[in-house]
Amino acid sequence: MPEAVASDLVGALRCRTCHAEAYEQWRQTPHARAFDRLAPEQRRDPRCTACHATAADEGLTGVQCESCHGPGRHYAVDAVMRDPALARAVGLDRGDAAGVCTRCHTADGPRLVPFDPDAAMPLVRHRPPPGAH
Ligand code: HEC
Ligand code: HEC
Ligand code: HEC
Ligand code: HEC
Protein backbone atom coordinates (compact mmCIF):
# COMPACT_ATOMS: atom_id res chain seq x y z
CA MET A 1 0.00 0.00 0.00
CA PRO A 2 1.15 3.58 -0.44
CA GLU A 3 3.03 5.09 2.48
CA ALA A 4 0.26 6.36 4.77
CA VAL A 5 0.52 9.69 6.45
CA ALA A 6 -1.54 9.65 9.61
CA SER A 7 -4.33 11.85 8.32
CA ASP A 8 -5.02 9.63 5.28
CA LEU A 9 -6.68 6.95 7.43
CA VAL A 10 -10.43 6.97 8.05
CA GLY A 11 -10.91 3.82 10.16
CA ALA A 12 -13.02 0.66 9.83
CA LEU A 13 -16.20 2.28 11.16
CA ARG A 14 -16.30 4.55 8.13
CA CYS A 15 -15.96 1.56 5.79
CA ARG A 16 -18.74 -0.20 7.70
CA THR A 17 -21.28 2.46 6.71
CA CYS A 18 -21.24 1.03 3.15
CA HIS A 19 -19.64 -2.41 3.59
CA ALA A 20 -21.57 -3.90 6.50
CA GLU A 21 -21.10 -7.50 5.38
CA ALA A 22 -17.35 -7.24 4.88
CA TYR A 23 -17.14 -5.49 8.25
CA GLU A 24 -19.07 -8.22 10.07
CA GLN A 25 -16.94 -10.94 8.47
CA TRP A 26 -13.76 -9.07 9.38
CA ARG A 27 -14.97 -8.74 13.00
CA GLN A 28 -14.86 -12.52 13.25
CA THR A 29 -11.21 -12.76 12.18
CA PRO A 30 -8.15 -12.61 14.46
CA HIS A 31 -7.18 -9.36 12.71
CA ALA A 32 -10.01 -7.49 14.45
CA ARG A 33 -8.76 -8.71 17.84
CA ALA A 34 -5.03 -8.40 17.22
CA PHE A 35 -4.67 -5.38 19.53
CA ASP A 36 -6.88 -6.69 22.34
CA ARG A 37 -4.52 -9.61 22.63
CA LEU A 38 -1.62 -7.43 23.74
CA ALA A 39 -0.94 -6.74 27.41
CA PRO A 40 -1.45 -3.10 28.50
CA GLU A 41 2.24 -2.16 28.32
CA GLN A 42 2.58 -3.85 24.91
CA ARG A 43 -0.28 -1.68 23.60
CA ARG A 44 2.01 1.31 24.08
CA ASP A 45 5.01 -0.40 22.52
CA PRO A 46 5.55 0.52 18.84
CA ARG A 47 7.49 -2.71 18.37
CA CYS A 48 4.19 -4.54 18.90
CA THR A 49 1.64 -2.09 17.54
CA ALA A 50 3.52 -1.94 14.22
CA CYS A 51 1.72 -5.16 13.25
CA HIS A 52 -1.10 -5.40 15.82
CA ALA A 53 -2.73 -2.08 14.91
CA THR A 54 -3.39 -0.05 11.77
CA ALA A 55 -2.40 3.14 13.62
CA ALA A 56 -2.35 2.82 17.39
CA ASP A 57 -1.55 6.51 17.87
CA GLU A 58 -4.79 7.39 16.06
CA GLY A 59 -6.85 4.85 17.99
CA LEU A 60 -7.10 2.55 14.96
CA THR A 61 -6.47 -0.73 16.75
CA GLY A 62 -6.30 -4.21 15.29
CA VAL A 63 -5.46 -5.00 11.68
CA GLN A 64 -8.16 -2.86 10.06
CA CYS A 65 -9.42 -2.57 6.47
CA GLU A 66 -6.85 0.03 5.51
CA SER A 67 -3.90 -2.18 6.46
CA CYS A 68 -4.80 -4.29 3.41
CA HIS A 69 -6.81 -1.90 1.21
CA GLY A 70 -4.72 1.25 1.65
CA PRO A 71 -5.54 4.54 3.39
CA GLY A 72 -9.09 5.57 2.54
CA ARG A 73 -9.27 9.35 2.76
CA HIS A 74 -9.34 9.85 -1.00
CA TYR A 75 -11.25 6.76 -2.14
CA ALA A 76 -13.75 6.12 0.72
CA VAL A 77 -16.42 8.42 -0.69
CA ASP A 78 -19.33 7.23 -2.80
CA ALA A 79 -18.53 8.94 -6.11
CA VAL A 80 -14.96 7.66 -6.10
CA MET A 81 -15.82 4.14 -4.91
CA ARG A 82 -18.25 3.73 -7.84
CA ASP A 83 -15.37 4.33 -10.26
CA PRO A 84 -12.94 1.42 -9.70
CA ALA A 85 -10.14 2.89 -11.81
CA LEU A 86 -10.31 6.21 -10.00
CA ALA A 87 -10.49 4.50 -6.60
CA ARG A 88 -7.35 2.56 -7.41
CA ALA A 89 -5.61 5.67 -8.68
CA VAL A 90 -6.15 7.39 -5.33
CA GLY A 91 -4.98 4.51 -3.17
CA LEU A 92 -7.44 1.58 -3.08
CA ASP A 93 -5.74 -1.82 -3.09
CA ARG A 94 -7.55 -5.07 -3.85
CA GLY A 95 -6.47 -6.62 -0.57
CA ASP A 96 -4.42 -9.40 -2.10
CA ALA A 97 -1.69 -7.21 -3.56
CA ALA A 98 1.76 -8.79 -3.59
CA GLY A 99 3.52 -8.48 -0.25
CA VAL A 100 0.52 -7.20 1.71
CA CYS A 101 0.43 -10.22 4.03
CA THR A 102 4.14 -10.80 4.45
CA ARG A 103 4.67 -7.24 5.62
CA CYS A 104 3.40 -8.53 8.98
CA HIS A 105 3.48 -12.30 8.51
CA THR A 106 7.25 -12.32 8.31
CA ALA A 107 9.35 -15.44 7.89
CA ASP A 108 11.00 -14.98 11.28
CA GLY A 109 7.70 -14.91 13.21
CA PRO A 110 7.00 -17.16 16.21
CA ARG A 111 5.36 -19.89 14.15
CA LEU A 112 6.05 -23.59 13.92
CA VAL A 113 4.28 -23.74 10.55
CA PRO A 114 5.47 -21.16 7.99
CA PHE A 115 2.86 -18.65 6.76
CA ASP A 116 1.19 -19.93 3.61
CA PRO A 117 -0.81 -17.17 1.89
CA ASP A 118 -2.84 -19.64 -0.18
CA ALA A 119 -3.99 -21.40 2.97
CA ALA A 120 -4.48 -18.17 4.93
CA MET A 121 -6.34 -16.17 2.27
CA PRO A 122 -9.73 -17.93 2.64
CA LEU A 123 -9.90 -16.77 6.25
CA VAL A 124 -9.43 -13.18 5.14
CA ARG A 125 -11.68 -12.96 2.07
CA HIS A 126 -15.05 -11.53 3.04
CA ARG A 127 -17.15 -13.95 1.03
CA PRO A 128 -17.08 -17.71 0.60
CA PRO A 129 -15.54 -19.04 -2.64
CA PRO A 130 -18.00 -19.74 -5.48
CA GLY A 131 -19.84 -23.00 -4.86
CA ALA A 132 -19.27 -23.03 -1.09
CA HIS A 133 -22.24 -23.12 1.27
C1 HEC B 1 -19.95 5.89 0.79
C2 HEC B 1 -19.94 4.44 0.71
C3 HEC B 1 -18.59 3.74 0.80
C4 HEC B 1 -17.62 3.89 1.75
C5 HEC B 1 -17.59 4.80 2.96
C6 HEC B 1 -16.59 2.91 1.42
N7 HEC B 1 -16.94 2.22 0.29
FE8 HEC B 1 -15.84 0.78 -0.64
N9 HEC B 1 -17.21 0.67 -2.15
C10 HEC B 1 -18.38 1.41 -2.21
C11 HEC B 1 -19.05 1.13 -3.48
C12 HEC B 1 -20.38 1.73 -3.91
C13 HEC B 1 -18.22 0.22 -4.18
C14 HEC B 1 -18.42 -0.34 -5.57
C15 HEC B 1 -19.59 -1.25 -5.65
C16 HEC B 1 -19.39 -2.46 -4.87
O17 HEC B 1 -18.61 -3.34 -5.28
O18 HEC B 1 -20.01 -2.60 -3.77
C19 HEC B 1 -17.08 -0.07 -3.30
C20 HEC B 1 -16.05 -0.95 -3.60
C21 HEC B 1 -15.02 -1.30 -2.73
C22 HEC B 1 -14.03 -2.33 -2.99
C23 HEC B 1 -13.96 -3.23 -4.21
C24 HEC B 1 -13.18 -2.55 -5.29
C25 HEC B 1 -13.03 -3.41 -6.52
O26 HEC B 1 -12.33 -2.95 -7.45
O27 HEC B 1 -13.59 -4.50 -6.58
C28 HEC B 1 -13.19 -2.35 -1.91
C29 HEC B 1 -11.99 -3.25 -1.69
C30 HEC B 1 -13.66 -1.33 -0.98
N31 HEC B 1 -14.76 -0.72 -1.52
C32 HEC B 1 -13.07 -1.05 0.24
C33 HEC B 1 -13.44 -0.02 1.08
C34 HEC B 1 -12.74 0.34 2.29
C35 HEC B 1 -11.51 -0.39 2.83
C36 HEC B 1 -13.39 1.41 2.83
C37 HEC B 1 -13.00 2.20 4.05
C38 HEC B 1 -11.64 2.74 4.09
C39 HEC B 1 -14.51 1.71 1.95
N40 HEC B 1 -14.50 0.83 0.91
C41 HEC B 1 -15.44 2.72 2.17
C42 HEC B 1 -18.84 2.28 -1.26
C43 HEC B 1 -18.15 2.70 -0.13
C1 HEC C 1 6.31 -8.08 12.09
C2 HEC C 1 4.95 -8.06 12.61
C3 HEC C 1 4.71 -8.33 14.09
C4 HEC C 1 5.27 -7.67 15.16
C5 HEC C 1 6.29 -6.54 15.14
C6 HEC C 1 4.67 -8.28 16.36
N7 HEC C 1 3.78 -9.25 16.00
FE8 HEC C 1 2.67 -10.42 17.26
N9 HEC C 1 1.96 -11.47 15.66
C10 HEC C 1 2.21 -11.17 14.35
C11 HEC C 1 1.52 -12.12 13.50
C12 HEC C 1 1.54 -12.14 11.99
C13 HEC C 1 0.86 -13.01 14.37
C14 HEC C 1 0.00 -14.21 13.99
C15 HEC C 1 0.73 -15.42 14.43
C16 HEC C 1 1.04 -16.27 13.30
O17 HEC C 1 2.00 -15.96 12.56
O18 HEC C 1 0.32 -17.23 13.17
C19 HEC C 1 1.15 -12.57 15.73
C20 HEC C 1 0.67 -13.20 16.88
C21 HEC C 1 0.85 -12.74 18.15
C22 HEC C 1 0.25 -13.30 19.35
C23 HEC C 1 -0.62 -14.53 19.37
C24 HEC C 1 0.33 -15.72 19.38
C25 HEC C 1 -0.35 -17.03 19.33
O26 HEC C 1 0.27 -17.98 19.79
O27 HEC C 1 -1.47 -17.14 18.80
C28 HEC C 1 0.66 -12.54 20.41
C29 HEC C 1 0.31 -12.75 21.88
C30 HEC C 1 1.56 -11.52 19.89
N31 HEC C 1 1.64 -11.65 18.50
C32 HEC C 1 2.21 -10.57 20.65
C33 HEC C 1 3.14 -9.65 20.16
C34 HEC C 1 3.91 -8.75 20.99
C35 HEC C 1 3.83 -8.71 22.51
C36 HEC C 1 4.69 -8.00 20.17
C37 HEC C 1 5.72 -6.93 20.56
C38 HEC C 1 6.78 -7.37 21.43
C39 HEC C 1 4.41 -8.45 18.79
N40 HEC C 1 3.46 -9.43 18.84
C41 HEC C 1 5.00 -7.91 17.66
C42 HEC C 1 2.97 -10.13 13.86
C43 HEC C 1 3.77 -9.31 14.62
C1 HEC D 1 -6.00 -8.95 6.00
C2 HEC D 1 -6.35 -8.17 4.82
C3 HEC D 1 -7.73 -7.56 4.69
C4 HEC D 1 -8.40 -6.81 5.63
C5 HEC D 1 -7.95 -6.47 7.04
C6 HEC D 1 -9.62 -6.40 5.00
N7 HEC D 1 -9.70 -6.88 3.73
FE8 HEC D 1 -11.17 -6.51 2.36
N9 HEC D 1 -10.30 -7.82 1.06
C10 HEC D 1 -9.14 -8.51 1.30
C11 HEC D 1 -8.94 -9.49 0.22
C12 HEC D 1 -7.79 -10.46 0.14
C13 HEC D 1 -10.03 -9.33 -0.66
C14 HEC D 1 -10.31 -10.10 -1.93
C15 HEC D 1 -9.54 -9.52 -3.06
C16 HEC D 1 -9.96 -10.11 -4.37
O17 HEC D 1 -10.26 -11.31 -4.43
O18 HEC D 1 -10.02 -9.35 -5.32
C19 HEC D 1 -10.86 -8.25 -0.13
C20 HEC D 1 -12.00 -7.77 -0.75
C21 HEC D 1 -12.78 -6.71 -0.26
C22 HEC D 1 -13.92 -6.11 -0.94
C23 HEC D 1 -14.42 -6.48 -2.33
C24 HEC D 1 -15.73 -7.23 -2.28
C25 HEC D 1 -15.63 -8.52 -1.53
O26 HEC D 1 -16.42 -8.70 -0.57
O27 HEC D 1 -14.77 -9.36 -1.84
C28 HEC D 1 -14.43 -5.16 -0.10
C29 HEC D 1 -15.64 -4.28 -0.35
C30 HEC D 1 -13.60 -5.15 1.10
N31 HEC D 1 -12.61 -6.09 0.95
C32 HEC D 1 -13.81 -4.32 2.17
C33 HEC D 1 -13.14 -4.45 3.41
C34 HEC D 1 -13.53 -3.77 4.62
C35 HEC D 1 -14.69 -2.82 4.74
C36 HEC D 1 -12.64 -4.15 5.58
C37 HEC D 1 -12.62 -3.77 7.06
C38 HEC D 1 -13.87 -3.93 7.80
C39 HEC D 1 -11.68 -5.06 4.97
N40 HEC D 1 -12.03 -5.23 3.66
C41 HEC D 1 -10.60 -5.63 5.62
C42 HEC D 1 -8.28 -8.32 2.35
C43 HEC D 1 -8.56 -7.62 3.50
C1 HEC E 1 -0.76 -5.01 9.67
C2 HEC E 1 -0.27 -6.38 9.89
C3 HEC E 1 -0.95 -7.53 9.20
C4 HEC E 1 -1.27 -7.67 7.85
C5 HEC E 1 -1.06 -6.66 6.72
C6 HEC E 1 -1.85 -9.00 7.70
N7 HEC E 1 -1.90 -9.62 8.91
FE8 HEC E 1 -2.72 -11.46 9.29
N9 HEC E 1 -2.36 -11.21 11.29
C10 HEC E 1 -1.70 -10.14 11.86
C11 HEC E 1 -1.65 -10.31 13.30
C12 HEC E 1 -1.01 -9.36 14.28
C13 HEC E 1 -2.30 -11.52 13.57
C14 HEC E 1 -2.49 -12.17 14.94
C15 HEC E 1 -3.83 -11.80 15.45
C16 HEC E 1 -4.05 -12.45 16.80
O17 HEC E 1 -4.17 -13.68 16.83
O18 HEC E 1 -4.10 -11.74 17.79
C19 HEC E 1 -2.74 -12.08 12.27
C20 HEC E 1 -3.43 -13.28 12.12
C21 HEC E 1 -3.77 -13.86 10.91
C22 HEC E 1 -4.39 -15.15 10.74
C23 HEC E 1 -4.78 -16.09 11.86
C24 HEC E 1 -3.54 -16.72 12.46
C25 HEC E 1 -2.79 -17.57 11.49
O26 HEC E 1 -1.63 -17.24 11.15
O27 HEC E 1 -3.34 -18.59 11.06
C28 HEC E 1 -4.50 -15.37 9.40
C29 HEC E 1 -5.07 -16.62 8.71
C30 HEC E 1 -3.98 -14.19 8.71
N31 HEC E 1 -3.55 -13.30 9.67
C32 HEC E 1 -3.92 -14.03 7.36
C33 HEC E 1 -3.49 -12.88 6.70
C34 HEC E 1 -3.49 -12.69 5.25
C35 HEC E 1 -3.94 -13.75 4.25
C36 HEC E 1 -3.05 -11.44 5.01
C37 HEC E 1 -2.89 -10.73 3.69
C38 HEC E 1 -4.09 -10.69 2.84
C39 HEC E 1 -2.74 -10.82 6.30
N40 HEC E 1 -3.02 -11.73 7.28
C41 HEC E 1 -2.28 -9.53 6.49
C42 HEC E 1 -1.17 -9.06 11.19
C43 HEC E 1 -1.35 -8.78 9.85
| For range 84-88, the mean pLDDT | 97
| CA–centroid distance, residue 105 to ligand 1 (Å) | 25
| CA–centroid distance, residue 22 to ligand 1 (Å) | 10
| Contact status, residue 62 vs residue 56, Cβ threshold 8 Å | no
Q: Is the CB of 10 under 6 A from ligand 1?
A: yes
The CA distances from residue 78 to 1, 67, 81, 91, 98, in Å, are 21, 20, 5, 15, 26
Instruction: Name the least confident of 49-53, 107-111, 123-127.
Output: 107-111
| Contact status, residue 24 vs residue 87, Cβ threshold 8 Å | no
By most ligand atoms within 8 Å of CB, the mutation choice from 68, 81, 90 for ligand 1 is: 81
How far apart, in whole angstroms, are the C-alpha atoms of residue 5 and residue 84? 23
| CA–centroid distance, residue 78 to ligand 2 (Å) | 35
Cβ-based burial of 67 (10 A; exposed 0-12, middle 13-18, buried ≥19)? buried
Residue having the nearest C-alpha atom to atom 37 of ligand 2: 48
Percent of the chain at pLDDT above 70?
91
| For range 48-52, the mean pLDDT | 96
